[in-house]
Structure 1
Amino acid sequence: MFVYAGYLYLSSEGSPDKVKQAQGVITSSIVGFILLFVAFFVVRLVASFFGFQGGILPK
């Protein structure tokens, strides 16, 4: 998404609407990454609370 936002920003040619759209995509991408990491750590916290250790693959 960052690459797409960069493309939008570079191809905007100074158009305020396209620059605003690119900034919105960048903001949404950052929020998405933050949510991804928060979800990962919440799942790990809940798994450790219930005693799960290691990965999901059987040994």
Structure 2
Amino acid sequence: MASPSTESTRPQRIAENIDVFDFELTDEQLTAIDNLDTGRRGGPEPSDITLANFGRPIPEA
């Protein structure tokens, strides 16, 4: 599977890429995002991700 590219040579596409930052978040939205960090893992411990535990090869990161 090919990864998406951030490169572009077309002026219109370059302008679209720049426009992605044309927004502001409210204080309430920033607080909601900050509150997503509970300090607890949402998945298994990295050391527990093994072939024996998951039944298939785990690619190296």
Q: Where is the helix percentage greater, Structure 1 or Structure 2?
A: 1
**Is this a same-fold pair by TM over 0.5?**
no
TM-score by length of 2: 0.31
Larger Cα Rg: Structure 1 or Structure 2? Answer: 2
TM-score by length of 1: 0.32
* Bigger relative CO (Cα 8 Å, ≥ 6 apart): 1
